[in-house]
Structure 1
Amino acid sequence: MKNAAPSPVRDPREDSAPTAPLPRGDLSWAAVAIVTAALGLFASISLVVEKWAILEDPLHVTSCDFNAALSCGTVIRSAQANLFAFPNPFIGLVGYTLVIVLAVGVLAGARYRAWFWQGLLAGLALGEVFLIWLWTQATFEINALCLYCMLVWLMHPILLLATAARCVRTGALPAPPGLRATTRLWAPAVVVLIWLVVFGSVLVRFSGSLFGA
């Protein structure tokens, strides 16, 4: 009687190996998400640190207090900075940390279902609406700018539109074929449009303070 052939030894790494290639562009989305979310997280942490210092010392001068126009302290002390009865940067701490975790997961080969991407996109869109409201308050009501806030104003549209483009391109968000094929055109264009509106109004509103005109 012949001895049975020994069964091949299974490599335990196969249990966690990807079962399908990542959708086209997911790695570039992950890279963009990590960079933009990391900068947003840095700004959020900085604002929390400055808020804590102000609570300890009401006369504390923040690291980005330069003049009446560029004054993080003025913005942090405003009622708008605590809209939900806690400092607004706490939202950034949680949100941007979550995005970084998700992006690292994509780099590791994780797959997320369409509804997951739709939820992420909805959350980022709500965040952009909130940031636009904060921009209007800082520019036209508080009459002061916060450099850390402006860093978030700069980064968040990139993250939002990169995610929207990814969802459209992969079909997670239903869209016409023409829109799906031109994500590399309209996504950066919308980002630039948001920047022009936000920072253009800031330059016009604070031109005298910023440039001594």
Structure 2
Amino acid sequence: MSQPQSHTRPTGLAIWLIIAGVIGWWAAFQLTVEKFHAFENPGTKASCDFSVLVQCTENLDSWQGSVFGFSNPIIGLTAWAAPIIVGVAILAHARFAKWFWWLFWLGIVGAFAFVCWLIFQSIFVLHTLCPWCMVTWSVTIPSFFAVTVHLLRAGVWPLPARGRQIADKLMAYVPLMTIVGYAVVILLAQVRLNAIPNVWHTIQIALGWV
């Protein structure tokens, strides 16, 4: 029988998983609402359509927005419950077996890989930046780094003590890893879509500054 991981209860990770899960779920919920609104009112624009570049409709109506035959946000409505449940369980002093962490990590990896693919499709194929999609990206990227580093330091993966010590120190660099991840996305969007000035102009219009 698998033994539970023995690392100190990761309170910080638990809190982040809850926050990320709530934010991700809310973004998925908003996109689902927009999709149902489009079904009920064909031809209308989504409330998150701010410009040709910053919009939700193009993404929701594309085949990339329904990869498995139904709208992607429905996946988020169910999947984002997992980090919330795990985070709450950790705060309640639950301890999980290695096999559980492996399954949870595989889910996080799947989410990260899917988001990376969607980022590529959005920037290089659809040429749009969906606001609620970007919210999902923003919490998936750090969640991947945080959970991966935690599994390394907790001994879920067979590492020598020195390797676990290094992984433990790496947890403090998860915010930096996240910033680098965001920077890569911003750079790609800027090179392909000239995103920064376009997004800034859209914000100015939304705020009534121009």
TM bucket, shorter chain: 0.7 to 0.9
Structure 2 residue matching 1:182: 3-state secondary structure:
helix
Cross-structure match for 1:209: 198
- Cα distance in 2, alignment partners of residues 211 and 156 from structure 1: 24
Q: Which runs of 5+ in 2 are unaligned?
A: 202-210
Q: Which runs of 5+ in 1 are unaligned?
A: 1-19
Larger Rg: 1
Describe how 1:1-213 pairs up with structure 2 within 5 A.
23-175=7-159, 176-207=163-194, 209-211=198-200
Aligned length: 192
Q: Report if aligned partners of 1:37, 1:159 keep a CA contact under 8 Å in 2.
A: no
* Structure 1 residue 119 displacement after superposition: 1.3
Q: Report if aligned partners of 1:25, 1:166 keep a CA contact under 8 Å in 2.
A: no
- Percent identity, aligned pairs only, is 28
- Cα distance in 2, alignment partners of residues 111 and 177 from structure 1: 19
Q: Report if aligned partners of 2:152, 2:164 keep a CA contact under 8 Å in 1.
A: no
- Cα distance in 2, alignment partners of residues 68 and 48 from structure 1: 21
Structure 1 residue matching 2:80: 3-state secondary structure:
helix
* Structure 1 residue 24 displacement after superposition: 2.3
- Name the CA shift for 1:50/1:136 in 2 (closer, same or farther; >3 Å): same
- Root-mean-square deviation over aligned CA pairs: 1.9
Runs of 4+ in 1 over 6 A off after TM superposition: none
Q: Report if aligned partners of 2:13, 2:146 keep a CA contact under 8 Å in 1.
A: yes
Cross-structure match for 1:17: none
Cross-structure match for 2:206: none
- Cα distance in 2, alignment partners of residues 209 and 157 from structure 1: 24
